[in-house]
Amino acid sequence: MSRRRIIAGNWKMNKTPAEAAELVALLKDKVVNDAVDVVYCVPSIDITTVAEAVKGTNVKVGAQNFYIEDKGAFTGEISAPMLKEAGVSYIIIGHSERRDIFGENDILINQKVKKAFASGLNPILCCGESLALRKAGTYCEWIKRQITWDLSGISADDVKKLVIAYEPIWAIGTGETATADQAQEVCHMIRETIAELYDSATAEAVRIQYGGSMNAANAAELLAKEDIDGGLIGGASLKADFAQIVNA
């Protein structure tokens, strides 16, 4: 089965609405690859601006966070219906910065995956190991456990639509990229885990990204690997380099 490549930018907490409009304009003529799904995961305050700016292009808008209730007394949060109405179609869930800085655990992450599917948002579910786990050699067990918990109670039909991002924490924002072989090893293991939890058709359908200091220079080698269907890009999504990754 051939899976459609998906390249997503994670802008993190960068770009005011005016700066966001400038970045979309900078990328507009360069990000025109119809063979690839392209997503800009932007700060909530930028969603309306970016949704308007990408109209008529193949770029989809993503968000970086939401809460599992539709509305109510949850100060500071934003809901799935709010994101949907504003034009969001993808949502990053379980990013290591949300897990480590904001204390999100696999129980909440699993609830978020369920809520995203129930609301018609496509989750980009992140997983990955710390440097200590990489050095200890237990990273595969760790990631398998994350995936198993995060997907508990999710149907095979939903998992077929899921995007999983393998993001080794030691490679995020550090300039240190996993080698293409290291990334492939884990992405393959993730696909095997999906086959064990579900079936081979589901494992073949799920799209798996690599994320961690992916850039214009290393993207082609990573994306050439059999089980790597795309990238989740932080730093390099904020500059013209992002277009080179989309076209890699």
By CB under 6 A, name the one of 50, 51, 214, 219 that touches ligand PEP. 214
Q: DSSP characters for 27-92?
A: HHTT---TTEEEEEE--GGGHHHHHHHTTTSSEEEEES--BSSSSSS-TT--BHHHHHHTTEEEEE
**Shortest CB 174 distance to ligand PEP, Å:** 7
CB nearer to ligand PEP: pick between 64 and 79: 64
Count residues contacting ligand PEP (CB under 6 A)?
13
Name the catalytic one among 95, 97, 104, 129: 95
Query: Is 188 a catalytic site residue?
Result: no
Tokens of 240: 């013209």
- The answer to the question of residue 163 lying near ligand PEP (CB under 6 A) is no
With a CB cutoff of 8 Å and minimum separation 6, the contacts of 45 are: 16, 17
Q: Which stretch binds ligand PEP (CB under 6 A): 102-110, 113-121, 194-202, 212-220?
A: 212-220
- AA identity, residue 183: A
Residue 142 phi, psi (nearest 5): -60, -50
Cβ 179 to ligand PEP shortest distance, Å: 15
Q: Which of 123, 168, 211, 230 binds ligand PEP (CB under 6 A)?
A: 211
Measured between alpha carbons, how far apart are the two ends of the chain, in Å?
Answer: 21
167 annotated active-site: yes
Residue from the set 47, 172, 194, 222 that interacts with ligand PEP by CB under 6 A = 172
Q: Does 94 bind ligand PEP (CB under 6 A)?
A: no
In angstroms, rounded to a whole number, what is the distance separating the alpha carbons of residues 39 and 58?
A: 9
Q: Measured from the CB of residue 94, what is the shortest distance to ligand PEP in angstroms?
A: 11
Q: Give 85's contacts (C-beta < 8 A, 6+ positions apart).
A: none
Q: Does 232 bind ligand PEP (CB under 6 A)?
A: yes
* Residues involved in catalysis: 95, 167
Residues near ligand PEP (CB under 6 A) are: 10, 167, 172-173, 211-214, 232-236
